[in-house]
Amino acid sequence: MPHTDGPAYLPTVATVSLSSHCVLEFYKIPEVSKKDDQALDSCSASDTDSRGQEPEFSLLVQPRSLLVLKEDIYSKYMHGIREITSDDLNQGNILNLPEATADVPSQAERACEFLPLLYPTSHFQTGSELK
């Protein structure tokens, strides 16, 4: 289900793909007027209704890769991974498909072990902070 990660992971979230690929889909967060904004205070962005909405674009996340999201893609889009066992890479607007390696078939099976890992990067210290 499309969702946002909320303020817990600001300003950056990293997703690690372990043994399988996946297609991460992005949905534009609907514009909300000030009047509607007050009514939505108790709702998450995913509750504002992305159901039935087609993704605006997708990214192919390859096995053993790291995807870092920040800025507009973090704050203006919901993201989600469909609960399916294989991805048809000929469907949808997969932006980075031309850069994908040649060994990715058009109908790619997902391994059961796929697990997105989210770590709040704001909790990690940079090298300059360790001094």
Per CATH, domain 6-122 is 3.30.70: no
Residue 103 has pLDDT above 50, yes or no: yes
Residue 111 has pLDDT above 90, yes or no: no
Per-residue confidence band for 59, with pLDDT thresholds at 50, 70 and 90: very high
Residue 49 has pLDDT above 90, yes or no: no
10 Å Cβ neighbour count for 13?
22
- What residue ranges do the domains of the chain occupy? 6-122
In the predicted model, what is the mean pLDDT of residues 36-48? 45
Percent of the chain predicted with pLDDT > 70: 61
The reported pTM is 0.68
Which residue, among 45, 39, 87, 79, has the nearest Cα to 62 in the 3D structure? 87
